[in-house]
Amino acid sequence: MREEIQRIQQAMEREGYVTDRAVATAVHLSMTLGKPLLVEGHPGVGKTEIAKVLAVMQQGDLIRLQCYEGLDATTALYEWNYPKQLLHIRLQQDGDQSVATREADIFSERFLLKRPLLAAITHQGRPPVLLIDEVDRADEEFEAFLLEVLSDFQVTIPEVGTVRAEARPSVVLTSNRARDLSDALRRRCLYLWIDYPSLEKELAIVRERVPHAAARLAEQVTALVQELRGVELYKVPGVSETLDWVAALAALDRRELDMAAIEETVGVVLKTREDQETLRSDRLAELLGKALRR
């Protein structure tokens, strides 16, 4: 079992995802037990990447459902292609088919627009990875509907009948904790919390994802972002901001970090006016000094 977890960790790192044993164990258990994996953590720490890497590891397709306020079952499951149905009806007006036959024809699968949930259930071939991203943004009503789908992986389409998954997809749900998820959803999932990484781990991620950046620059930017996370900010920078900042500075041919470079590119890492005002030049200079000593 330890060898299997180590194999998963190595496979994830081969795909560019710098991970640890806890993440690899959660992925292994999700695959072995066939249970959805609920991943929570701060924005930009690599939650979504787990699903992407898992799809590559399993050599399957990634089907993504991006959640948002107001998302309903119809949008997530299926819709009928009404323009195509109307065109088909007009073309068949002079035919001798009965009304029942025409109705059965226009409500057949060729007029069905499969949204992510139905696409995952009806997927042919190797089971896909279903990513339900930012599930905390969806309403509680949609969450209740989602429970039913995740329990049986089957849905009933009134005009077609009940559709069941031939092979269950792997499911990864992510949450930024914008609201509390129900206990019922949590009970159906394995749980993984991803925190901001340590300096050493974040630097390893930067070196993996932005290998062309100067080593000194990568070290300094990573250390400064670690210092920024200790300040009370409106939007704390995640690992994604660290990667973007290193890439931006490398694109400007910077090999070391100084105040001039920070002021030129501060919008890459601090995404609100309030945060930029909180960290005026003198405060940033102080944090840069700490980062360089670190």
| Statement to judge: residues 128 and 152 lie in one domain | yes
With respect to residue 97, please indicate whether it lies within any of the assigned structural domains: no
| Statement to judge: residues 165 and 205 lie in one domain | no
Residue-level pLDDT at 108:
60
Domain end call among 176, 194, 212: 194
Total number of domains in the chain: 2
| Statement to judge: residues 187 and 206 lie in one domain | no
With respect to residue 109, please indicate whether it lies within any of the assigned structural domains: no
Residue-level pLDDT at 188:
92
Q: How far apart are CA 18 and CA 12, in angstroms?
A: 7
With respect to residue 113, please indicate whether it lies within any of the assigned structural domains: no
| Statement to judge: residues 179 and 208 lie in one domain | no
| Statement to judge: residues 146 and 223 lie in one domain | no
Residue-level pLDDT at 96:
59
With respect to residue 43, please indicate whether it lies within any of the assigned structural domains: yes
Q: How far apart are CA 177 and CA 189, in angstroms?
A: 16
Domain that holds residue 147: 2-70+123-194
247-292: per-residue pLDDT in tens? 999 999 999 999 999 999 999 999 999 999 988 878 888 998 988 8
| Statement to judge: residues 166 and 263 lie in one domain | no
Domain end call among 194, 209, 233: 194
With respect to residue 288, please indicate whether it lies within any of the assigned structural domains: yes
With respect to residue 276, please indicate whether it lies within any of the assigned structural domains: yes
Q: What share of the chain is helix, strand, coil (3-state, %, to 5)?
A: 55, 15, 35
Which residues of the chain register pLDDT less than 70?
1, 81-82, 85, 87-109
Residue 179 is part of a domain; what is its CATH number? 3.40.50.300
| Statement to judge: residues 62 and 151 lie in one domain | yes
- Cβ neighbour number for residue 52 with a 10 Å cutoff: 18
Domain end call among 167, 194, 221: 194
DSSP 37: E
- Tokens at 84, concatenated: 């195509």
- Name residue 174's beta-bridge partners: 39
Among candidates 144, 190, 136, which has minimal Cα distance to 26? 190
With respect to residue 89, please indicate whether it lies within any of the assigned structural domains: no
- Tokens at 2, concatenated: 């330890």
- Name residue 62's beta-bridge partners: 129
| Statement to judge: residues 146 and 238 lie in one domain | no
- Residue 216: its H or E element: helix 215-228
| Statement to judge: residues 234 and 282 lie in one domain | yes
3-state DSSP call for residue 217?
A: helix
Q: What is the dihedral of CA 19, 20, 23, 24, to 10 degrees?
A: 90
Residue-level pLDDT at 25:
96
| Statement to judge: residues 239 and 260 lie in one domain | yes
With respect to residue 93, please indicate whether it lies within any of the assigned structural domains: no
| Statement to judge: residues 233 and 286 lie in one domain | yes
| Statement to judge: residues 149 and 289 lie in one domain | no
